[in-house]
């Protein structure tokens, strides 16, 4: 077992190994952010995210887009925990054959995304290597820790704008994206995949943080969110949080709407597990309820079990 290749272990197993070596305890174990209490200051939340550009930069993305997207993705994990991002640093490893313009575009994308989320870009690190890698580390302040394990009796809520990026990636991986770029729904999906709009919690939501028992963002797809939450309780989906225009586009293109909603990704939309008494408040804030949390484990659409089929590092499941 000690000499098993990483590709045979899978991302979840490797994360579990890391957490065991470190000795993480709640609220930092199996969570998307890390918390530390600083005496005299309060609760800080930290997040680092990134990846190899050979994996995350598609043909329709510029280097500016990559810098923007990775930075917004890092912030999204803090924001869905209702933590306020305050500062970030970025580590860049680049091959030497890039142009100065490409380098500057990448840094400008990070800078402009930082401005959009209200955080200060205060420095970082630069290296040369055989692959291009961008990592963004971000610091925020939080009111209290929020994990990702829902409680039976909870209701899951989100913003019903899923499907744009899922449809874009479905067409891209199928080699059909360019053919449909004149479709405004597809064009919108491309724009959101290139430069996602950072979601920010309202003051009303911040003041009702105790309504929330768990939260995750949908950067890895709604199916991934539900799969993780479904380890702690049974999740039963009773409504699909898809944008109506995307649903019509899926019908015209003969694409299963569930595919683009559950197995898309890069939406950066919040998913909250809330107390049922708070449902009216969240509806007033523009959220829709789409699933209930029950005793047990697993994810179901009605009575049918939903299996996640998106991307998992070190054990890639082809999209589509």
Q: Is 51 left (phi over 0), alpha (psi -120 to 50) or beta?
A: left
Give the model's pLDDT for residue 310.
Answer: 67
pLDDT in tens, 279-296: 999 999 999 999 999 999
* Domain 155-305: top CATH class: alpha beta
CA-closest candidate to residue 248, choices 312, 186, 300: 186
Classify strands 42-52 and 234-237 as parallel, antiparallel or unpaired: unpaired
Residues linked to residue 138 through DSSP beta bridges, in sequence order: 47, 88
Give the CB-side neighbour count of residue 232, counting CA atoms within 13 A: 19
Does residue 3 have a pLDDT over 90?
A: no
Where do the structural domains in the chain lie, given as residue ranges?
1-30, 37-142, 155-305
> How many Cβ atoms sit within 10 Å of the Cβ of residue 10?
16
Q: What is the mean pLDDT of residues 292-314?
A: 89
Average pLDDT over residues 207-213: 98
Name the residue with higher pLDDT: 5 or 167.
167
pLDDT digits (tens, 9 = 90+) for 16-66: 999 999 998 889 888 999 999 999 889 999 999 999 999 999 999 999 999
CATH 3.30.1330.10 fits 37-142, yes or no: yes
Name the residue with higher pLDDT: 102 or 309.
Answer: 102
CB contact set of 240 (below 8 Å; sequence gap of 6+):
162, 257, 258, 261, 290
Query: What are the backbone dihedrals phi and psi of residue 204, each rounded to the nearest 5 degrees, phi first?
Result: -65, -45
The yes-or-no verdict on residue 71 having pLDDT over 50 is yes
Q: Indicate the average pLDDT of the chain.
A: 94
User: What is the pLDDT confidence band of residue 320, given thresholds at 50, 70 and 90?
Assistant: very low
Alpha-carbon span 256 to 93, nearest angstrom: 39
Asked whether the predicted pLDDT for residue 210 surpasses 70, the reply is: yes
Question: Residue 133: beta bridge partners?
Answer: 52, 93
- Could you read off the pLDDT of 74-119 as tens digits, one per residue? 999 999 999 999 999 999 999 999 999 999 999 999 999 999 999 9
């Amino acid at each position: 077992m000690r000499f098993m290749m990483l590709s045979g272990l899978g991302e979840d197993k490797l994360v579990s190994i890391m957490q065991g070596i470190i000795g993480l305890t709640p609220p930092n174990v199996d969570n998307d952010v890390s918390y530390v209490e600083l005496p005299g200051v309060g609760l800080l939340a930290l997040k680092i995210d990134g990846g190899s550009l050979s994996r995350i930069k598609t043909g329709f993305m510029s280097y500016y887009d990559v810098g923007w997207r990775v930075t917004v993705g890092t912030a999204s994990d803090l924001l869905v925990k209702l933590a306020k991002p305050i500062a970030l640093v970025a580590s860049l490893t680049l091959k030497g054959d890039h142009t100065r313009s490409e380098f500057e575009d990448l840094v400008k994308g990070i800078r402009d995304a930082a401005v959009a989320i209200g955080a200060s870009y205060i420095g970082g690190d630069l290296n040369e290597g055989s692959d291009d890698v961008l990592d963004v580390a971000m610091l925020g302040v939080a009111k209290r820790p929020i994990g990702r394990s829902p409680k039976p009796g909870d209701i899951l809520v989100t913003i019903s704008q899923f499907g744009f990026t899922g449809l874009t990636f479905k067409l891209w991986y199928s080699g059909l994206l360019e053919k449909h770029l004149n479709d405004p729904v597809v064009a919108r999906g491309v724009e959101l995949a290139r430069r996602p709009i950072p979601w920010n919690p309202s003051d009303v939501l911040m003041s009702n943080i105790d309504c929330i028992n768990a939260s995750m963002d949908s950067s890895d797809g709604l199916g991934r969110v539900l799969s993780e939450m479904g380890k702690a309780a049974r999740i039963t989906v009773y409504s699909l949080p898809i944008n109506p225009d995307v649903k019509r586009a899926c019908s015209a293109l003969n694409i299963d709407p569930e595919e683009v909603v559950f197995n898309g990704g890069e939406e950066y939309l919040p998913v909250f597990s809330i107390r049922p008494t708070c449902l009216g408040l969240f509806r007033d804030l523009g959220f829709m309820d789409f699933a209930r949390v029950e005793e047990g484990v697993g994810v179901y659409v009605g009575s049918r079990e939903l299996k996640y089929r998106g991307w998992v590092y070190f054990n890639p499941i082809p999209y589509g």
